[in-house]
A and B are shown apart, each in its own frame.
Chain A
C-alpha cells in the first residue's frame, strides 16, 4: 500500500483540494451533542473528532426518500428521472462506516444489482479517518475497527497531521495530482501511528469475539430477556434508521390527480414497523412488537458471508440513538450469559 503524510499546516488546503473533485460532504456539529454529514460550505465546520453521526453515510447511496421514475398509466411507459449523479466527496468516515458500505455493496451491487445505488456509489469518493472509541463502540468485537479496502484515502491521526493510506486507483490519482501538499512518511510518523493504534485498542471496553452470537440468539428466543426488553421498545425505528447497514426500503406509487401519470418513490423502511412484515391476505410475518424486536437482533448478528463479518459493525448507533434507552450491546452480552451453561463449552 502507498503511504503519505499530510502535515497539520496543509489540512485546510487538503479539504480545499478534494472539494475540486465534487461536492464535499463531511461530519459537522448539528446541535449540542450530535453530528451529522452535511454539505461543506465552510471548511472550518468540518469535524475531525466525532464519535458518530445521527444519519449514517448510507444516505448518500440510498437516499432516505427518492424518486425512481415517472410512469404513464395510459401507455404503460416509464421514464427514469434520476439523471446523472455528479461526483461527490464523502470525507471523514470511520472504519466501521466503510465496512458498512461494503456490506451494502454486497446486497445492492452483487446480490440484487440496483442501478440507483450503483450510480451513486460510483460517483462517491470515500475518504476515511481514524477514530478513538467511546463507551458505545464495539467495532473491535465485530472486527470492523480497521479497514484495508473500501476507501480511496484513509487518514490516520498523528500529533502533527495525518498518515494517509491510499486505497484505490482514484486515491492514487488524487494524491498524484496534489503531491505538493503531501510529504514522505518519517520513522517518527510510523512510531506515532503505532502509538495511536495501541491507544485505540486499549480504549475498547470489551474484548473477545461475537462470532457465535447468531447461534446463541437462535437458541435463546424463549429467554425472558426478549419480553422485558421489547416491552420497553417504542417501535419508532430510530435503531434501524441510524444503523449504517440497515437497508430495507418501501416502495410506493404516487398517482397524479390527473389520473394519467404518476411516480414511483422509494424510502427507508424499518423492520420495527408493523407493515414491514405484512403480506397479502393480511398475514404478518412479525405480528407482535416482540417478534419485530427479536428480528433486528437476529438480522444484525447474521453473517454477511462475502466479508465474514456480521451485519452489525458495532458502531453503537442503535443504542446511542434509542429514545427508550435500550442497550443493544448489553443485551447481547446478557443473552450470552443467560445460556452460560450452553455457551461456556463453545467459548
Chain B
C-alpha cells in the first residue's frame, strides 16, 4: 500500500510524531512511503492510496500543493489541528483581522516571495475523508489509523469530548471544583485527558468535536463562574476560531 505524508504551513510536529513512532520499521515495511519530506527530500507527489496532510492552507502555494495531493490520492487524511480546523494561526479569523493588517503588524513593509492569507483548514478546498486529530496526534491513534488502512479498513473517528476520557481516568473535574476554564467538554477526546490529570485545564489543542461542540453551553458555564467575554472568546478561539458559529454562540450567552 502506497502512502504519502505531507506538510503545508505548520510546525511539522504531526509529521515528526509520525516519524518517531516506536514501530516505524514495521510501518515502513507495511507501506511503500512515496512522500515524507521530513525524512527525505527525494519524494515527489504521485499516486498513493492514502495521503496524510498536516498544516493549514496559508499561502497560494499551499492550496496548489493540496489540490495536487488530493488529485493523486484515493484517500486523504487531515492530520492535526491545523489541517482539520485551521490551527492556532487562524485565530485572526475570529478576531476579524485581515491578512494585510496582520502581515504589516508582524513584518512591517517587508516583501515576501509568496502570497499569504489567513489560515484555513483543508476541507475549505478539498474533500477530506478522515481526520486524525491532535496537536500533535497521539502515537496510539497514528498507529490505529495506519493499521486500519493496512488491512483495507478505515478508522473510526472519536465523536466525544475529553470529559469522557477524564471521567474514565478518574480525575477530579477541575472545571466544577475550581472553576478552571477547561475546554474538555468541547474538545475531541484521544489524549486521555493528559493535561487535566496534572491539574491543567484543557486548552482545546485537539480541536472541537465535529458538529457537536456546544461552545454556547460552555460559555454559559464559564460566565456563571465569573469569566468575562473577552477572556472566554480568546481562549475558545485559540484552536477553534474556524468552528462554525463560534462567535455567535459566545454572543448568544454574553450579548453582543
Across the interface, do B217 and A237 meet the contact criterion of CB distance under 8 Å? no
Q: Does A192 contact B (CB under 8 A)?
A: no
The answer to whether B144 and A254 have CB atoms under 8 Å apart is: yes
Assess A234 versus B185: contact at CB under 8 Å? Given A257-B146, A321-B176.
yes
Point out the residues of chain B lying under 8 angstroms from A30, CB to CB.
170, 172
Q: Are A234 and B221 in contact (CB under 8 A)?
A: yes
B214 close to A (CB within 8 Å): yes
Among the listed A59, A234, A255, which residue makes an inter-chain contact with B148, where contact means beta carbons less than 8 Å apart?
Answer: A255
Chain A residues contacting B143 (CB-CB under 8 Å) are 257
* Bound: A106/B23 CA distance, A: 43
Given contacts A33-B177, A325-B224, contact A232 B160 (CB under 8 A): no
State in angstroms the CA–CA spacing of A271 and B167 once bound together.
15
Q: Bound complex: CA of A231 vs CA of B214, how far in Å?
A: 9
Given A64-B168, A233-B214, A254-B144, the answer on whether A323 and B221 have CB atoms closer than 8 Å is yes
Question: Once the chains bind, are B220 and A235 in contact (CB under 8 Å)?
Answer: no
Complex: how many Å from CA A54 to CA B171? 8
A267 on the B face (CB < 8 A): yes
Question: Complex: how many Å from CA A33 to CA B178?
Answer: 9
Residue contact A232 to B217, C-beta cutoff 8 Å: yes
Contact between chains at A257 and B30 (CB < 8 Å)? yes
Give Cα distance in the complex from A9 to B214, angstroms.
Answer: 53
Partner of B151, one of A33, A34, A259, A322: A259
Main secondary structure of the interface of A (DSSP, over half): loop
In chain A, positions 243-266 with a C-beta closer than 8 Å to chain B are 252, 254-259, 262
Asked if B159 is at the interface (CB within 8 A of a chain A CB), the reply is yes
What residues of chain B lie closer than 8 Å to A321, measured between beta carbons? 173, 176
**Shortest beta-carbon distance from B159 to chain A in Å:** 5
Considering the complex, give the chain B residue whose CB is closest to the CB of A258: B26
Chain B, Cβ-Cβ closest to A273: B160
Bound Cα distance A59, B171 (Å): 13
Contact B220 A237 (CB under 8 A): no
Tell me which residues across on chain A come within 8 A of B164, comparing CB atoms. 236-237, 241, 268, 270, 273
Residue from B151, B163, B170 within 8 A of A73 (CB atoms): B151
The verdict on A107 contacting chain B, using a C-beta distance below 8 Å, is: no
A59: chain B residues at CB < 8 Å are 170
Q: Kindly list chain B residues whose C-beta atoms are within 8 Å of the C-beta of A334.
A: none
Contact partner of A234 (CB less than 8 A), chosen from B153, B159, B168, B186, is B186
CA distance A31 to B174 in the complex (A): 9
Cβ-defined contact, A241 with B168, below 8 A? yes
Contacts of B153 in A (CB 8 A): 255
Task: List chain A residues, Cβ under 8 A from B30.
Answer: 257-259
- B200 within 8 Å of A by Cβ? no
Q: Is the CB of A232 within 8 A of B150?
A: no
A256–B178 Cα distance when bound, in Å, is: 41
B211 neighbours in A (Cβ, 8 Å):
274
Assess whether A257 is in contact with B173, with CB atoms less than 8 Å apart. Answer: no
Chain B residue contacts of A31, Cβ below 8 A: 172, 177
Return the chain B residue nearest A55 by Cβ: B170
Residues of A within 8 A of B175 (CB): 323
Closest to A254 in B: B144
Answer whether residue B184 sits at the interface, using C-beta atoms and an 8 A cutoff.
yes
Question: Most chain-B CB neighbours within 10 Å: which of A234, A237, A259?
Answer: A234
In the complex, A324 has a CB within 8 A of chain B: yes
CB contact between B159 and one of A257, A274, A289 (< 8 Å): that residue: A274
Contact with A along B1-45 (1 / 0, CB 8 A): 000000000000000000000010011001000000000000000
B248 at the interface (CB under 8 A from A): no
Is the pair A324, B220 in contact by a Cβ cutoff of 8 Å?
A: yes
CA distance A34 to B173 in the complex (A): 9
Chain B residues with CB under 8 A of A236: 161, 163-164, 184-185
Please report the C-alpha to C-alpha distance between residue A322 and residue B163 in the assembled complex, in whole angstroms. Answer: 11
CB B140 to nearest CB in A, in angstroms, measures 9
Smallest beta-carbon distance B181→chain A, Å: 11
Is B128 at the interface (CB under 8 A from chain A)? no
Picked from B27, B170, B185, B214, the residue with its CB within 8 Å of the CB of A257 is B27
Name the distance in Å between A64's Cβ and chain B's nearest Cβ: 4
Rounded to whole Å, the gap between the CB of B177 and the closest CB of chain A is 5
In the assembly, what is the distance between CA of A32 and CA of B211, in Å?
34
A-B contact pairs, 27 of them (CB 8 A): A30-B170, A34-B173, A54-B172, A55-B167, A64-B168, A231-B216, A231-B217, A233-B214, A233-B217, A234-B163, A234-B185, A234-B214, A235-B185, A235-B212, A238-B185, A241-B168, A257-B146, A259-B30, A267-B168, A270-B160, A273-B164, A274-B159, A274-B212, A289-B212, A321-B176, A323-B182, A324-B221
B-binding residues in A (CB < 8 A): 30-34, 36, 54-55, 59, 64-65, 73, 231-238, 241-242, 252, 254-259, 262, 267-268, 270, 273-275, 289, 321-325
For the complex with contacts A255-B151, A270-B164, A289-B214, 16 further pairs of A-B residues with Cβ separation under 8 Å are A30-B170, A32-B172, A34-B173, A233-B217, A234-B163, A234-B217, A235-B185, A235-B214, A235-B217, A252-B156, A255-B153, A256-B147, A257-B143, A275-B160, A323-B173, A324-B218
Which 4 pairs of residues, A with B, have the shortest CB-CB distance? Answer: A64-B168, A241-B167, A31-B172, A236-B163
